[in-house]
């Protein structure tokens, strides 16, 4: 029973938003656009939450700023560009694949491939060394080794 209550709580908590009633715009279309934009912006304080989910004061300020820009007539991209210009590209939950970000995106797969290649060649080299050890023993050495192993 406790497990069911816990699951119900976790599922219902995932849809909770931190938008305060005084932040909500009267125009439903603008409010929907503001929510869509807010879901793509990272809370600079929480860092793993969108500003739509965060209850931090800075997130509330950014949410209000997004709504002010929409009311002034900015389109969605202009609002995002304004926020990025003010807080940096870190504020985007999905940063672009350009410039220095491209290096961050590509570095992890490159290191993974390098690690896999190193592991492959290490294992392959170990197998070759073991094969060479067995092939280079003389008959006398093989008999001596057998005696040692059978003790």
Q: What is the pLDDT of residues 106-143, one digit of tens each?
A: 888 999 999 999 999 999 888 777 766 656 777 888 88
**pLDDT surpassing 80 at residue 8:** no
For domain 2-91, which architecture applies? Orthogonal Bundle (1.10)
**How is residue 91 annotated by DSSP?**
G
Share of the chain above pLDDT 90, in %: 24
**pLDDT surpassing 50 at residue 48:** yes
Instruction: Show contacts of 4-13: CB within 8 Å, 24+ apart.
Output: none
Distance of CA 88 to the CA centre of its chain: 18
**pLDDT surpassing 90 at residue 78:** yes
65 burial class (0-12, 13-18, 19+ CB within 10 angstroms)? Answer: middle
pLDDT at 90: 84
What the block records as the tokens of 119 is: 């592991």
Q: Are 4 and 13 in contact (CB under 8 A)?
A: no
Distance CA 53, CA 39 (A): 8
Average pLDDT over residues 88-114: 83
pLDDT at 17: 58
Residue that is written with structure tokens 């800075």 in the block: 58
Domain positions in the chain are 2-91, 99-150
């Amino acid at each position: 029973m406790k497990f069911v209550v816990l699951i119900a709580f976790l599922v219902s908590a995932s849809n909770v938003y931190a938008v305060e009633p005084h932040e909500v715009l009267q125009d439903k279309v603008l409010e929907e656009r503001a929510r869509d934009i807010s879901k793509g912006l990272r809370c600079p304080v929480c860092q793993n939450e969108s500003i739509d989910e965060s209850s931090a004061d800075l997130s509330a300020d950014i949410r209000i700023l997004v709504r002010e820009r929409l009311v002034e007539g900015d389109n969605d991209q202009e609002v995002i560009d304004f926020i990025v210009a003010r807080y940096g590209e870190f504020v985007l939950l999905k940063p672009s694949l350009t410039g220095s970000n491209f290096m961050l995106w590509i570095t992890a797969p490159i290191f993974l491939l390098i690690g896999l290649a190193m592991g492959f060649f290490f294992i392959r080299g170990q197998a070759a060394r073991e094969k060479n050890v067995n092939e280079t023993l003389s008959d006398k050495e093989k008999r001596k080794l057998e005696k040692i192993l059978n003790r």
